[in-house]
Amino acid sequence: MNQLAILGPGLLGGSLALAVRARAPQCRIAVWARREAAVAEARRICDLASTDLADAVRGADVVVLCVPIGAMAELAERIAPLVEPGALVTDVGSVKAPVVEALAPLFERAGRGRFVGSHPMAGSEQAGLSAAHADLFEGSVALLTPHPGADPAAVEAAAALWRLVGCKIHSLSPAEHDEAIGLVSHLPHLIAASLVNFVCAQDPRAADFCGNGLRDTTRIASGLPEMWTEILATNRAVLGGQLQAFIARLQEISRDLASGNDSLLKTFLTNAKVRRDRHIQRRS
Amino acid sequence: MNQLAILGPGLLGGSLALAVRARAPQCRIAVWARREAAVAEARRICDLASTDLADAVRGADVVVLCVPIGAMAELAERIAPLVEPGALVTDVGSVKAPVVEALAPLFERAGRGRFVGSHPMAGSEQAGLSAAHADLFEGSVALLTPHPGADPAAVEAAAALWRLVGCKIHSLSPAEHDEAIGLVSHLPHLIAASLVNFVCAQDPRAADFCGNGLRDTTRIASGLPEMWTEILATNRAVLGGQLQAFIARLQEISRDLASGNDSLLKTFLTNAKVRRDRHIQRRS
């Protein structure tokens, strides 16, 4: 990678710039932002910052779209005629099937840019360039979601990018991605937000008594509403089915609780502890 | 407080001993444990440790039951004839109405000990004396749940005990307590455990991709299954109603999600963020 273009210097884009600068100082980094103020702020983390897309992507062998999911398609349409023909184009969206379906054909039709979807599983409830740091991706997982027509060399280039900044790489199809991330990210977000709203609506005073349990259980509900609305809405079909299946499981648990047979409750809690300690607790 | 008897040197009992020793070094501390091995281990944190209840409570002006909820009633029956007539007797159980209903009459009938229920909102998914530390209660909330016949001087003694170890004090009725703690602790525990079981059953591989979001959201599901079975079962009536109401809310959210009207989703997520940042995020 000789020249990297980052479109959107938020938490992820900004952290990517800082991470590449720290690990591959010879790589030239250009940043595009929509607003002049964001461009001015981005100057400290890159070699060139501009509101002009052509300036940002010219000469870049890797272009990363780090804008909110809802802004991806329009941005891709604008850069498709501008990127270098052989450039890897990737994104950081948390939903993949709709994004890949919208973006991949744009670059194919333009005959410029080789698109591969990716999703670095990093971030926090903090947002913006001010929260960015060079180690955000260190030790996290980057999911690559090559579609049937994806160029294997572009897939390898995307893997190399995320590996450079400290990610472990997994590949799966866009649809498999959206099922898996629906389960481990989107459904938990919906549930955490539901829990906050439920508890505070039932008894606003009750929150005064909460310990670290509720605080941790609902942490992700402090994420940006605009961003998460787009994410959840984009994965609506998958998430809706998962939510219905989860509600059905809660109904079973409700029946088990009401039955008075506490061995059912104990088995349920034991399974949860064993599974969490084995599969979720460890840092990946 | 001249002499404190702690019955059950687990995480809470052990931390209470260490906290009182650090803050009121003149206070004599006796610890009772069921097993000889636990007694041997407890010696380092108190002046007297014994498997003999009479030895532990003799001369104590404050007696604290720090055993699991399911063991409270039997232990109270055994100590009712043994405690000093004027001693404050309290407990640390996370469910209060059934505990207070069972325990308060035992001491009234014996004419010995003045019972007041309490619930220090501290702990973690770690358990046992090895996890105990002198600052466990610092900055947390202790809920006092005086019943109609509770002695005001005993209520004040219980408040003084928890204040000594760093708690802020709130008083509410046992029934109010169980509603409030059902919302902020028991329901979130049930939901976190449900989420672990659901995600891991749907797609065991998905957990490999989880980030800190799912890890935090489900942290409490790593708590001790035996202890939590007793807690959830003891608060069954309240918790069952709350779970049904929560399921009804999830059904509404499911309909909003399916409607395609994303402004409903955004309002829902915005409310959650505002409420969490205002009521839950701050350390109490």
Confidence of residue A60 (pLDDT cuts 50, 70, 90): very high
Domain CATH for A135: 3.40.50.720
Q: Which region among A120-129, A163-172, A271-280, B108-117 has the lowest average model confidence (pLDDT)? A: A120-129
Average pLDDT over residues A276-283: 80
In the predicted model, is pLDDT for residue A241 greater than 90? yes
- Verify that B146 and B14 share a domain, yes or no: yes
Q: What is the pLDDT of residue A203?
A: 87
pLDDT at residue A125, rounded to an integer:
61
Mutate to test the interface with B, among A209, A259, A273, A277 (most CBs of B within 10 A): A209
pLDDT at A52: 98
- Show which of A120, A137, A172 is a domain's final residue: A172
Mean pLDDT of A4-11: 97
**B262: nearest CB among A223, A233, A240:** A233
Whether A219 sits inside 8 A of B216 (CB atoms) is: yes
Taking the CA of residue B26 and the nearest CA in chain A, the distance in Å comes to: 31
A87 and A148 within one domain: yes
**pLDDT above 70: residue A282:** no
The residue in chain A having the minimum alpha-carbon distance to the alpha carbon of residue B177 is: A206
Helix, coil or strand: residue B168:
strand
Whole-number pLDDT of residue B282: 62
Neighbours of B203 (CB within 10 A): 17
Q: What is the mean pLDDT of residues A142-171?
A: 97
Q: What is the pLDDT of residue A101?
A: 97
Mean pLDDT of A100-124: 94
What residues make up the domain containing A10?
3-172
Same domain membership, residue A226 and residue A133: no
CB–CB of B208 and A279 under 8 A? yes
Does the distance separating the beta carbons of B206 and A180 come in below 8 Å?
yes
- Quick check: A199 and B184 CB within 8 A? yes
A179–B203 CB contact, under 8 Å: yes
Residues of chain B with pLDDT under 50: 284
- Look up the CATH number of the domain holding residue A250: 1.10.3660.10
For residues B67 and B114, membership in a common domain is answered with yes
Flag if B272 and A192 touch (Cβ within 8 Å).
Answer: yes
CB-closest option in B180, B194, B204 to A203: B180
Whether A216 sits inside 8 A of B220 (CB atoms) is: yes
Q: How far is residue A194 CA from its own chain's centroid?
A: 21
Q: Do B188 and A195 touch (CB under 8 A)?
A: yes
CA of A74 to nearest chain B CA: how many angstroms apart?
Answer: 19
Give the pLDDT confidence score for residue A207 in this predicted structure. Answer: 79
Q: Are residues B159 and B55 in the same domain?
A: yes
* CA B136 vs CA A215, B19, B81, B164: distances in Å: 17, 8, 32, 12
The whole-number pLDDT of residue A72 equals: 96
Q: Do B158 and B189 have their domain in common?
A: no
Return d(Cα B165, Cα B162) in angstroms, integer.
5
Which of the listed residues B155, B172, B189 is the one where a domain comes to its end?
B172
Q: Is the pLDDT of residue A204 over 60?
A: yes
> What percentage of chain A has pLDDT greater than the value 90?
89
DSSP B104-153: HHHHHHHT--EE-EEEE----S--SGGG--TTTTTT-EEEEE--TT--HH
Same domain? B124 vs B224: no
Residues A261 and A230 in one domain: yes
Q: pLDDT at position A122, please?
A: 87
Nearest-CB residue to B280 (from A218, A260, A266): A218
pLDDT, residue B284, reads 41
Question: Which residues, in sequence order, are bridge partners of residue A3?
Answer: A28
Q: Which residue among B200, B209, B250 sits closest to A275, beta carbon to beta carbon?
A: B200
Cβ within 8 Å, pair B216-A213: no
Task: Find the residue in B nearest to A210 (Cα).
Answer: B184
Contact at CB, B216 and A216, closer than 8 angstroms: yes
* Residue B244 confidence (pLDDT): 98
Cross-chain CB nearest to B209 (options A121, A245, A269)? A121
The reported pLDDT for the residue numbered A40 is: 97
- In this structure, the answer to whether residues A34 and A103 fall within a common structural domain is yes
Residues B77 and B51 in one domain: yes
Is pLDDT at A238 greater than 80 in this prediction? yes
* Domain total of chain B: 2
A284, pLDDT greater than 50: no
Smallest Cβ–Cβ distance between B197 and the set A195, A240, A272 belongs to A272
User: Is the pLDDT reported for residue A206 higher than 90?
Assistant: no
Q: Are A281 and B215 in contact (CB under 8 A)?
A: yes
Do B16 and B133 belong to one domain? yes
| Closest by Cα among A70, A87, A94, A190 to A142 | A94
Q: Cβ separation of A209 and B180 shorter than 8 Å?
A: yes
Least confidently predicted of A35-49, A110-124, A195-209, B164-178: A195-209
- Best residue in A11, A12, A95, A199 for a mutation probing chain B (most B CBs within 10 Å): A199
User: Are both A58 and A180 inside the same structural domain?
Assistant: no
| Last-in-domain residue among A127, A146, A172 | A172
The secondary structure element, H or E, covering residue B77 is helix B72-79
Mutate to test the interface with A, among B12, B177, B198 (most CBs of A within 10 A): B198
Torsion sign (Cα): A178, A182, A183, A185: positive
Single-letter residue type at B195? L
